[in-house]
Amino acid sequence: MLQEPFIVPDRILAGIDDNQPRAQQMYSLIRSLIIEMELNPGSPISEKAIGEAMSVSRTPLREALLKLADEGFVTIVPNMGTFVSKIDLATVFEGQFVRRALELETTRVAALKMDAEFLRELDVNMYQQQRCASDMDEAAFYQADEEFHRIISSIAASKRVWKTIHVAKGQLDRVRRLAFPLPDHMKVVLEEHTAIYEGLKNNDPAAAVAAMEIHLARIFITLQTLCESRPELFSEDAADMIAEHAKLLSP
């Protein structure tokens, strides 16, 4: 259960838009806490602790939790409380399906549109990833990883496209975040991002898309490893779901 008083990490607070309604802020906050494993699958959620930490009343918190329940992030059990849902692989695979379709296309278009201004933005991000990997800062690397993909999407299309990807891959992101403590994971991700970056820099859509496809397909290996090492975090049908979707997740 959440410690009281609960302290929200600064990196998560920084991503909250103060201009949004309080219910939307709480939705974004709790969603990030769940994805970044500050709230683990199966753990209870203390509305009191979050409310006190964020100086927010019960009403916007309840609105946020109802929305999160609808998206499968939390489970509300009458007379018992609210709990972080275990990771449902059916929803993870749905997110992978949407992400792969859209990100391969945004990567192709971004390679065609790449110019000096866009390249500078990617250069800064790649430097940040390298620093995070060197410092073994998993939380910061995950955020830089997200930003890398967002930048590519923004080069190719509108903010609406990234919003679609972001919403669809919420459950998938829980798996991605869980993967960072795995041996050499940051090193491998950085190598894959570098290959994508080189394709974009050289205005080579085929190379960039091929590198992105390899990168996105890695989720299958990650899932197999995590389901074996941390089965308590996943729904009971996880092993069967992996076997069923093995071919679909292959490059």
User: What's the chain's average pLDDT?
Assistant: 91
- Residue 245 region by backbone torsions, left for phi larger than 0, else alpha for psi between -120 and 50, else beta: alpha
Residue 68: pLDDT band by 50, 70, 90 thresholds? very high
CATH number listed for the domain at residues 10-84: 1.10.10.10
Query: What is the model's pLDDT at position 1?
Result: 44
Query: What is the model's pLDDT at position 4?
Result: 55
Question: Which contacts (CB < 8 Å, 24+ apart) does range 125-132 have?
Answer: 125/151, 126/193, 126/194, 126/197, 129/190, 129/193, 130/190, 132/186
Q: Which CATH class is domain 89-249?
A: mainly alpha
For residue 247, pLDDT beyond 70: no
For residue 192, pLDDT beyond 80: yes
So where are the chain's domains? 10-84, 89-249
